[in-house]
Amino acid sequence: MQLSGPMEKMKTRLEQEVQYELPLGEVLVPMNRLIGTSIVLEYQQQIHCVACGRRTSKSFNQGFCFPCFRTLPQCDSCIIKPEQCHYHHGDCRDASWGEENCLTDHYVYLANSSGGKVGITRGTQIPTRWMDQGAVQALPIFRVRDRLTSGLVEVVMKAHVADKTSWQRMLKGVPEAVDLPARRDALFELCDDELQEVVQQQGDGAVEWLKDGEVVDIHYPVKQYPEKVKSLNFDKSARVEGVLLGIKGQYLILDSGVINIRKFGGYEVQLTTEL
């Protein structure tokens, strides 16, 4: 089989094992069935912006051309730092986008990807966000009314728990299980005063404690984890090939190394497989 087209981050579906589909142009390639076979991914020296589709010589922020990177709200700095959301100041890059994506329910969650961490996501991105991060456990602990509030709550939490995933550790195997409900309860008690300050600042109803949430367990289609993680990069070598040993997060795990598909959004890629 040989297919080609601009690549986007893999689509995921939560089942007994996460199911992955790789968008190549108009085609969705079912990747789970390729595990255990040899594949070749070859960069065709063209990049198309994932927003506007124009050709660009360089990708910014995982797939955008420079004009889109400078102007689109999804590329603004407040996406990385939600506590700096400035919609309420009236200077959002696109107010309608902000209303749809930021002025909507968000969740603050605990997850276990390379160990316990805190994070935020829109309600519509559960459980996609967790699968994209390679989390094996996840637990929503707050529901809040907007992105800004989620960022303020996360700032309180990350003073006591990590907010980053070590992607190398995540790809080396399944992390030791974490008692997320116990961690949640300890954080509720530890951070109560600061959380009450957020509520006073944002108003009644802005934050809802989720005291009885259930842990979501996530399993990935991986036959073999690497002992040493070697990163593969289309910008350094246009051809990536090897036996596909598994998929976790947005990474393909090959016997030759690992490649972060999301990093190369918009890259024109040709996929050749044995099937």
Both 50 and 82 in one domain: the answer is no
d(CA 203, CA 223) in angstroms, rounded, equals 49
* 3-state SS track over 20-56: EEEEECCEEEECHHHCCCEEEEEEEEEEECCCCCCEC
**Final residue of a structural domain among 202, 217, 232:** 217
Both 41 and 12 in one domain: the answer is yes
Both 29 and 132 in one domain: the answer is no
Both 79 and 213 in one domain: the answer is yes
User: Please, are residues 251 and 171 in contact by the beta-carbon 8 Å criterion?
Assistant: yes
Both 48 and 112 in one domain: the answer is no
The token pair at 167 is: 């992607």
- String of b and e for 48-66 (b: at least 16 CB within 10 Å)? bbbbeeeebeebbbbbbbe
d(CA 275, CA 269) in angstroms, rounded, equals 18
Nearest Cα neighbor of 5 from 235, 259, 264, 269 is 269
**Final residue of a structural domain among 196, 217, 238:** 217
Both 106 and 172 in one domain: the answer is yes
Both 125 and 172 in one domain: the answer is yes
Both 202 and 82 in one domain: the answer is yes
Both 138 and 29 in one domain: the answer is no
Q: Which domain holds residue 37?
A: 2-68+221-273
Q: How confident is the model at residue 217 (pLDDT cuts 50, 70, 90)?
A: very high
* Amino acid at the residue 128: T
Both 235 and 203 in one domain: the answer is no
For Cα atoms 141, 147, 152, give the angle at the middle one, nearest 5 degrees: 65
Model confidence pLDDT, tens digit, residues 34-90: 999 999 999 999 999 999 999 999 999 999 999 999 999 999 999 999 999 999 899
Cα–Cα distances (Å) from 12 to 1, 47, 109, 115, 133, in that order, read 22, 23, 19, 22, 11
Q: How confident is the model at residue 275 (pLDDT cuts 50, 70, 90)?
A: confident
Q: How many domains does the chain have?
A: 2
pTM of the model: 0.95
| Mean per-residue pLDDT of the chain | 96
**Final residue of a structural domain among 198, 217, 236:** 217
Question: In the chain, pLDDT over 70 holds for what percent of residues?
Answer: 100
Both 86 and 202 in one domain: the answer is yes
* Amino acid at the residue 127: P
Q: Which helix (H) or strand (E) holds 248?
A: strand 239-248
What is the rounded average pLDDT of the residues 176-195? 96
Model confidence pLDDT, tens digit, residues 125-166: 999 999 999 999 999 999 999 999 999 999 999 999 999 999
User: Please, are residues 98 and 92 in contact by the beta-carbon 8 Å criterion?
Assistant: yes
Both 56 and 91 in one domain: the answer is no
Nearest Cα neighbor of 40 from 250, 270, 265 is 270
The token pair at 75 is: 């590329």
